[in-house]
């Protein structure tokens, strides 16, 4: 394997119903089956940062008189729900996972620390990282980049609903061109929407390669792990 320790960023929508909203047990189970196969077939350490778009996003708050900090904490709590659901579904597939939360929730889930997460990975378990960064105003992209740096991951895999990074929105433009690979500087120069700027800068400064891929192709992650063409590679 070209990459041994992987950080997988999953958006909350993959755990929702058909419209990507709400909580769907069958979606947890479906994703757990895919992740279990990846773990069983490849000798890798796997950490997963989980979103909560199916439950609540802080940025859903628009012009309403609703505190942004409170909204972000609501989103963080949503990631804990998704983390718990994924862990239980992985258990049914014979995969041991631990959920660590950056947001303290008492006896429900263990609090995150670098040392505990690394021990989890070294013992062959999957580390599910919930609660974002534990702070408002930071996205789960930022949490993914931060954890990848802290846990010394070799690669950040960002699952999206398109095949990779395009020069324009492929859902609105039939002539959109997908990039197979990019440098960090090219992505910045072309103002491509890879991750939010905080997350992208962290990966750039710490030389963490990023692969953006379609969540529907998650079964083909092994290609990326072996260095084969898969999605868009930014390095």
Average pLDDT, rounded, for the chain: 93
Cα–Cα distance, 24 to 102 (Å, whole number): 24
126-185 tens-digit pLDDT: 999 999 999 999 999 999 999 999 999 999 999 999 999 999 888 889 899 999 999 999
**Range(s) of the domain holding residue 186:** 5-234
User: What's the confidence (pLDDT) of residue 63?
Assistant: 67
- What's the domain count of the chain? 1
59-81 tens-digit pLDDT: 667 667 888 899 999 999 999 99
Backbone phi and psi for residue 201, each to the nearest 5 degrees, phi listed first: -65, -40
Q: Spell out the residues 6+ positions from residue 179 whose beta carbon is closer than 8 angstroms to its own.
A: 164, 165, 166, 167, 192, 232
pLDDT tier, 20 (very low <50, low <70, confident <90, very high otherwise): confident
Backbone phi and psi for residue 9, each to the nearest 5 degrees, phi listed first: -100, 120
- Using alpha carbons, list the distances in angstroms from residue 165 to 52, 157, 230: 22, 13, 11
Question: Which of the two residues, 194 and 97, has the higher pLDDT score?
Answer: 97
CATH (domain of 20): 3.40.1160.10
108-122 tens-digit pLDDT: 899 999 999 999 999
User: What's the confidence (pLDDT) of residue 183?
Assistant: 93
User: What's the confidence (pLDDT) of residue 108?
Assistant: 86
């Amino acid at each position: 394997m070209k990459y041994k320790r992987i950080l997988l960023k999953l958006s909350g929508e993959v755990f929702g119903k058909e419209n990507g909203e709400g909580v769907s047990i069958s979606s947890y189970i479906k994703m757990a089956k895919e992740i279990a196969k990846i773990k069983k077939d490849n000798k890798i350490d796997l950490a997963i940062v989980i979103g909560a778009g199916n439950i609540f996003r802080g940025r859903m708050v628009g012009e309403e008189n609703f505190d942004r900090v409170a909204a972000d904490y609501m989103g963080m709590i949503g990631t804990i729900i998704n983390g718990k659901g994924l862990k239980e579904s992985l258990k049914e597939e014979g995969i041991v996972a631990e959920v660590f939360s950056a947001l303290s929730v008492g006896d429900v889930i263990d609090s995150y620390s670098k040392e505990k997460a690394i021990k989890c990975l070294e013992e062959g378990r999957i580390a599910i990282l919930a609660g974002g960064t534990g702070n408002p105003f930071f996205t789960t992209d930022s949490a993914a980049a931060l954890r990848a740096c802290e846990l010394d991951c070799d690669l950040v895999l960002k699952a999206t609903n398109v095949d990779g990074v395009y020069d324009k929105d492929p859902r609105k433009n039939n002539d959109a061109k997908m990039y197979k690979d990019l440098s960090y500087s090219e992505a910045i120069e072309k103002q491509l929407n890879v991750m939010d700027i905080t997350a992208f800068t962290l990966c750039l400064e710490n030389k963490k390669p990023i692969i953006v891929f379609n969540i529907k192709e998650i079964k083909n992650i092994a290609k990326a792990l072996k260095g084969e063409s898969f999605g868009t590679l930014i390095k």
